[in-house]
Structures are given as C-alpha cells and as structure tokens.
C-alpha cells in the first residue's frame, strides 16, 4: 500500500497528524511519500510523481487530477482532499473509475472568513499602501472609510460566506446584501437576499465566496465590473477564475480609488499584471493557512484514509 501526499506543507502543524500517519504506516503496512519539492506541484510534476510512485491513495491539495493524471496510477483507489475546493479534481472521471474522493469542507471555514474580513478592513483604511509609503520614508496619512458606513455584499452564502456575514454583523454596516447560486441559502432574515447585479451596483464592499465550476468561471468580468462603484472594495478568497483577472486589471487601472484583495488565481504561483498595481492587495492562496485550519484539514484527510483502510464509510465522500 502506497500513500502519496502531494500537498505541501503537511504534518507540521499538529502532532495528531503525525500520530495518524504512524497508524497508517504501522497498522496497514503503508509507505507514505511526501511532497519532495516543498511547494505546490505543477501539473507536469504531479504526473511525474504519479508515474513514479503509482499510489493506491493520494492526499491532495489543489493540484490537478484529470483523466490524464489518473491514467498514470492504475492502482489508485482514493483521493483525500485536504481542503474544500474540488475544481481541480475530475469528479466524474473518478466516479467512473470507482475512485473514492473525500474532502474536509468545514476545516478552512473560519480561517478564510477571517482573512476576508482582514482584507476588507485593510483596503478600507488603505493599510497596505500606508505600509509601503512608510518603508519608502514617506509619512502620508490617508483618510479611509469605516465599515459601519458601508453597504456590504456577499456573493456566495455557503459555509464561508455565512461565516463572513456573521463576523461583519459586529461592525454594524449600513446594510448587508447577499446571494448564492442556490436560492435555498436565503437564511439571514435580518439582511437582504439579493442578486449579483444589485450587489455590484449598490455595495461599497463586495466579497466573493463561491466554488469554481462551469457556472462560475468568469462570474465577474468586464460587464459586471462596469456596474461596480468606482471606489468599491472587491475581495476574492474563493477561487481563481471566478473574477476575470485581465478585466480586473483593467478596472483597477481605470478606477484608482477602487481596490481589490486577491488570494486566489487562475495560475498559481501568480506572476501576472496585477503585480503592477498599488490598489490591489495580493496574497499567495493562504486563506486556510492558520495552525488550527491546517491541522483540521490534514487530520481530516488522514482520518478519511484510515476510514477507507478500515472499511469504514467516509465522513465526507464527494458525490456528483
């Protein structure tokens, strides 16, 4: 039995994870292979690892697993995703091949929601710009905005979006508008169930919390950005590809009083043109990167592997 862990870092935040890995080694005679490059694998690098190791089980991050990748590991029986997003895994292909796929949907919720709130406050007060100015020996005080004076829009009302709404309530904003692809998620009676267009038009702060799918690729593009206020704050901690990066660059360039915070990108690591701009706050897909979140993601994924090896039904098996 061979378990390949492609995500990185792994096992550094919790002794519990190490204990669970030892249980796999000792009780199930498994060899565990870790990410040797200490960073996210490219698609070609994943292919090379799969071809070399021919794993029975993969503990995955956001690496791509499509039919071509799956062809390289004939013994593969399970992909345990350490995290919530599944856009990088061809679920239908896995089902066809009878490969079990699991994820850890609750683990990153609070960490990502906290990051979104942090980004909102930083952009409203231009904290990232002030820091740069001071490091350049420029003492300049900016007059920012308070969240209580803003209308906030939340696009995507799942676990993370709902957590963001609950956290933002403490700041008592003027209004909170929210929407989701699933109309059943109209759950906040004290706030306004809305739609994408009205949120884009009316809100001073817009934060996006949607999974990437065929329905959400380029969900915010040139046409949508043309509706947004020229001093709005736009946050994306969900997935790259939901906001069109080229269109976002054009919008930010044309509206210097607007700002955006982007933690996720179409291609990672990111080296695109948003790096040229000062009115965008960039981070390296580190929304879930807290000790608590990472430990929960990793231990959750390893526990699913143990469930599989022990013949116990998975806790969070993914279905189409």
Q: Is 234 helix (H, G, I), strand (E, B) or coil?
A: strand
The gap from C-alpha 116 to its chain's centroid, in whole angstroms, comes to: 11
CB neighbour class for 36 (10 Å; exposed up to 12, middle 13-18, buried from 19): exposed
Q: What is residue 12's predicted lDDT score, i.e. its pLDDT?
A: 86
Examine residue 199 and say whether the peptide bond preceding it is cis (omega within 30 degrees of 0).
no
Set out the domains of the chain in order of their start, with CATH numbers.
2-107+290-310 (3.40.50.720), 109-282 (3.40.50.720)
CA-CA-CA-CA torsion sign (295, 298, 302, 305): positive
Set 159, 239, 249, 294: catalytic member: 239
Considering the candidates 31, 146, 197, 268, report the single residue annotated as catalytic. 268
The three-state secondary structure class of 32 is strand
**Catalytic-residue membership of 268:** yes
Give every CB contact of residue 84 below 8 A, 6+ residues apart in sequence. 103, 104, 105, 107, 108, 159
Q: What is the pLDDT along the chain (320 residues), one digit of tens a residue?
A: 999 999 999 988 888 999 999 999 999 999 999 999 999 999 999 999 999 999 999 999 999 999 999 999 999 999 999 999 999 999 999 999 999 999 999 999 999 999 999 999 999 999 999 999 999 999 999 999 999 999 999 999 999 999 999 999 999 999 999 999 899 999 999 999 999 999 999 999 999 999 998 889 999 999 999 999 999 999 999 999 999 999 999 999 999 999 999 999 999 889 999 999 999 999 999 999 999 999 999 999 999 999 999 999 999 999 76
Q: Which residues contact 15 (CB under 8 A, 6 or more apart)?
A: none
Strand order in the sheet with 100-102: 31-33, 2-5, 57-60, 78-81, 100-102
Residue 285 is among the residues annotated as catalytic for this protein: yes
Looking at residue 214, its pLDDT comes to 86
- Which of 81, 126, 285, 303 is flagged as catalytic? 285
Alpha-carbon distance of 181 to 158, in angstroms, equals 10
- Alpha carbon 267 to its chain centroid, in Å, reads 13
**Distance between CA atoms of residues 155 and 180, nearest Å:** 6
Output the pLDDT for position 20: 95
Tokens standing for 67? 């039919």
Question: Any idea what the Cα angle at residue 82 is, between residues 77 and 88, rounded to 5°?
Answer: 75
pLDDT at 320: 61
User: Beta strand pairing status for 233-236 and 175-179?
Assistant: unpaired
Q: Angle at which helices 291-310 and 15-28 pack, to 10 degrees? A: 20
Dmax (CA) for the chain in angstroms is 63
Output the six-digit token pair for 292.
């608590």
Cα gap 54→98, rounded to integer Å: 16
**Which residues lie across from 193 on neighbouring strands?**
178
Q: Is 213 helix (H, G, I), strand (E, B) or coil?
A: coil
């Amino acid at each position: 039995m061979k378990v390949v862990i492609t995500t990185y870092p792994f096992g550094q935040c919790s002794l519990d994870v190490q204990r669970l890995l030892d249980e796999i080694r000792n009780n199930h005679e498994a060899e565990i292979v870790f990410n040797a490059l200490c960073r996210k694998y490219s698609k070609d690098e994943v292919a090379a690892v799969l071809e070399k190791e021919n794993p029975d089980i993969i503990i995955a991050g956001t690496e791509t697993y499509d039919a071509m990748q799956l062809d390289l590991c004939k013994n593969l029986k399970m992909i345990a995703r350490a995290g919530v997003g599944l856009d990088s895994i061809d679920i239908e292909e896995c089902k066809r091949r009878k490969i079990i796929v699991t994820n850890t949907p609750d683990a990153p919720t609070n960490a990502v929601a906290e990051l979104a709130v942090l980004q909102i406050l930083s952009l409203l007060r231009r904290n990232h710009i002030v820091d740069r100015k001071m490091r350049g020996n420029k003492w300049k005080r900016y007059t920012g905005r308070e969240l209580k004076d803003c209308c906030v829009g939340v696009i995507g009302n799942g676990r993370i979006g709902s957590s963001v709404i609950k956290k933002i309530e403490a700041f008592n904003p003027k209004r909170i508008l929210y929407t989701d692809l699933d109309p059943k998620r109209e759950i906040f009676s004290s706030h306004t169930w809305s739609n994408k267009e009205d949120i884009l038009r009316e809100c001073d702060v817009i934060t996006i919390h949607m999974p990437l799918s065929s329905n959400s690729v380029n969900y915010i593009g040139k046409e949508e950005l043309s509706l947004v206020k020229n001093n709005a704050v736009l946050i994306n901690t969900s997935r790259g590809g939901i906001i069109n990066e080229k269109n976002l660059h054009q919008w930010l360039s044309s509206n210097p009083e607007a700002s955006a915070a982007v933690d996720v990108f179409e291609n990672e690591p990111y080296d695109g043109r948003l790096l040229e701009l000062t009115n965008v706050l960039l981070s390296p897909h580190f929304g879930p990167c807290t000790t608590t979140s990472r430990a929960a993601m990793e231990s959750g994924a390893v526990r699913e592997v143990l469930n599989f090896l022990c013949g116990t039904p998975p806790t969070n098996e993914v279905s189409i």
